[in-house]
Structure 1
Amino acid sequence: MIAKASTISHGANAIRYSVNKEKADIVKANLLPDNISPEAMYGRMMLVQKKYAEKINKGRPLGRNVIRIEISPSEEESQGWTMDDWLRLSNEFIRVFDSIDLSGKTKRTSSQHTNLKNSQYIVALHRDSKSGILHLHIDANRVDMDGKINDGHKIGERAVLAANIINEKRGWIQSEEIGIHHRKEISNICIEILRSMEKFSWQQYETELKKRGYKVHLQEKDGGGVYGYSIKRGNSTYKSSVLGIGRNLTPSKIETTWAKLHSQKRNFESKEPTSRQARTTDRTLVIQPSTISQPVMKHYDIMTDEYHKFHVEIPEAADNIIRQDCSLEDAHPFAKIEEIQHTALLLFAGYLDAATSMAASSGGGGSDTGGWGRDKNEDELEWARRCARMANSMCKRKKGLHR
């Protein structure tokens, strides 16, 4: 089983999604009527927060006022379960989640325990649209019924610890082992597909992966070709750099891997230009000696939450480096490659606080950003490399998150 958690500002939308999603079942409504609309559920949560507003936040509303939790046992672990089994799991998870003391790590007494048991929350059972695999969504009030705030510091870490404690108790596979198993499974499928291909083709490679139930995201260059790709299995996404052995399934190496599998010698070095090509190039340079090519710029509008959007403008070469160097290999189990890349892009543009928020939402344990910034004489490509490395560090799990 794996689990993730975060504090969110879009609680109304989250509860609406949990309750109204197609084929969703309400497992439990804690301290809430179970026959009211999602809007009414959220409204009741906000009434509690308003009641204790002066006590909890000096009269100001909480920015992130709902705790969002997702719990995903494997298909084997939940096989044959009834609604009572899902109810027992949700109750056990809440109990363990509340019991974890993180005050030693956060240096905050508020992190000793959460009190979701005495807070309003809704538990909904969802089915993955493709695979049908079942998982739970929990949306909980940040303020308990006594007016105390449920601590949000390192809340992703709290969820992972709770999942691992339950995994150990029930004899289930730990979250880190699940990731290793999935990467191995996908890698074996990729190699099997390459062996079956008479010649290498990205289109056929993608098609064969989709036939086997995976989602594929190819990152294509403007002039043709692929500079990166990722494969999604269920709710988890794996970048090509973490698959295979020695990055042998990345775009820069995959054709060599195909050739080795077929025992063929391939020469990937660019051919020397013909004399005609050389003359054409020389003539172009003579005719247009003052022409200077401008770098292609990539533009992103990155949302860190429902209300905050940041515009990033980055040269294509630097953008390619970030997309190639960001990795899920050491990331938190729930981190998505897009979240790590967006963290790096925000760092590149100088939005340090926004990058920190993005990393936290991916479940990362954070990283020391004291003194972080671009060196005076640092070129854009090296700066992009450093931003990718920092994003990897910010989005990774911290030591001691699993038993």
Structure 2
Amino acid sequence: MSPSPEHTSFYDIEDWQKLWHEFVEEFDKQTITGKDGKVRSSPTNLANSKYTVYLHMESKGKVPHLHAAICRFDENGNINNDHNIHLRAQRAAERVAVKRGWKTAEEIRSRNIPEVSRECMEVLRTMPSWSWEEYKKALARRGYSVYERKDKKDILRGYAILKGNTKYKASELGVARNLMISKLPRTWQKLHYRERLAAQVNTYQSYRPEPVQRPAADMDYTHYRSGSVSYTLSSHGGTEQRFYIPERVLDYFNEEFDYREVANSSDLTDIAVAIFVGMLDTPVVSTGGGGGGSQSDLPWRDKDDDDLQWARRCARAATLLLGKKPRTGLRR
């Protein structure tokens, strides 16, 4: 049994003994039944069995908890059924926590998931390049342990993060399971793409290239015009710049990068808009397979281009830079 340290920081040995007796009482009350309502496991009798209880300090997190070694036979010679012993222990601990007004292990775990997710994202954000080993080391420096799940061929198929006595599966973390092992590289790429775009926004806010650097006339999309709609280019860090582009141009981008069919539609639209408004003037590094390009790939707006012609060229350039990722699963 392992209560949160804040509940036991001032416990003496008698407090721990009382806690143990409450746990045993709740453990022995339980009858395990199946879905058909039939009894699968009768109540145990740990309270009337021989046992030894150890107060142990967890080595890494220094969290005190109880271990117990209990005889299979009670004092009356009856067998203590060990069927679903982990379920019994979990239920007993939950009931003790409720009786004492403590937050249950599940409540604490659920409360911590956003913070664990945030730390994982921060680790990815600070990594200059993607590496599974570096990801694990960075989490370890933050006090986490990483449990790897590999198949028979020693191929990594999944992982879980442990802190103290609490385990968090990767599928439970992040947004849309974006911290699962199969999605981690893409999540890293997207984070760093956003940072590059934020740098472009900052550059645009403080400095606008002289028109002579381009063979076409620049247009100002920072002010509202009739028939325009607002579009904000932003980053995870909160940096943002608002532009006003023709509504039919945004409609074209939304159709070209239909979110129902294109997995990275948001990223592609951001890049296309950035090119369209003249913000993207420096090389852009590809964010994944299927793309790849630099400044030489970016189009310049011809003086004879109308908005839609220019939008089509921007969409093609965005696709070249990022690659269009088809969305798996159901489509329209």
Check whether the contact 2:151–2:157 (CA below 8 A) recurs between aligned residues. Answer: yes
Is residue 2:141 matched to residue 1:121?
Answer: no
Q: Which residue of 2 aligns with 1:188?
A: 118
Question: Matches of 1:216 and 1:168 in 2, distance apart?
Answer: 30
> How big is each residue's C-alpha offset from its partner over 1:99-126, in whole Å with a ceiling of 9 and x where there is no partner?
2343687734961x32111110111011
Cα shift at 1:128: 0.8
Check whether the contact 2:97–2:103 (CA below 8 A) recurs between aligned residues. Answer: yes
- What letter is aligned with 2:73? V
Question: Matches of 1:104 and 1:200 in 2, distance apart?
Answer: 47
Q: Which residue of 2 aligns with 1:160?
A: 90
Structure with larger Rg:
2
Question: Matches of 1:140 and 1:177 in 2, distance apart?
Answer: 29
Among residues 239, 249, 255, which one is paired with 2:179 in the alignment? 249
Cα shift at 1:214: 1.1
- What letter is aligned with 2:176? G
- Specify the SS of the correspondent of 1:190: helix
Q: Which has the higher contact order (CA 8 A, sep 6+)?
A: 1
Among residues 38, 54, 58, which one is paired with 1:107 in the alignment? 38
- What letter is aligned with 1:74? S
- What letter is aligned with 1:269? G
State the identity as a percent: 41
Is residue 2:258 matched to residue 1:258?
Answer: no
Please list every run of 5 or more consecutive structure 2 residues that lacks an aligned counterpart in the other structure. Answer: 197-266, 268-285, 293-332
- What letter is aligned with 1:107? K
Among residues 73, 90, 99, which one is paired with 2:20 in the alignment? 90
TM-score for the superposition, normalised by structure 2: 0.53
* Equivalent residue pairs, number: 201
Question: Matches of 2:120 and 2:289 in 1, distance apart?
Answer: 25
Q: Which residue of 2 aligns with 1:268?
A: 288
Q: Which residue of 2 aligns with 1:65?
A: none
- What letter is aligned with 2:64? L
- What letter is aligned with 1:155? I
Check whether the contact 2:56–2:65 (CA below 8 A) recurs between aligned residues. Answer: yes
TM-score for the superposition, normalised by structure 1: 0.45
Q: Which residue of 2 aligns with 1:144?
A: 74
Cα shift at 1:133: 0.7
Among residues 102, 109, 123, which one is paired with 1:172 in the alignment? 102
With over 3 angstroms needed to count, the CA separation of the structure-2 counterparts of 1:184 and 1:92, relative to structure 1, is same
With over 3 angstroms needed to count, the CA separation of the structure-2 counterparts of 1:256 and 1:140, relative to structure 1, is same
C-alpha RMSD over aligned residues: 3.1
Question: Mapping of 1:59-78 within 5 angstroms?
Answer: 71-78=1-8
Is residue 2:222 matched to residue 1:202?
Answer: no
Cα shift at 1:189: 0.8
Q: Which residue of 2 aligns with 1:235?
A: 165
Question: Mapping of 1:12-91 within 5 angstroms?
Answer: 71-91=1-21
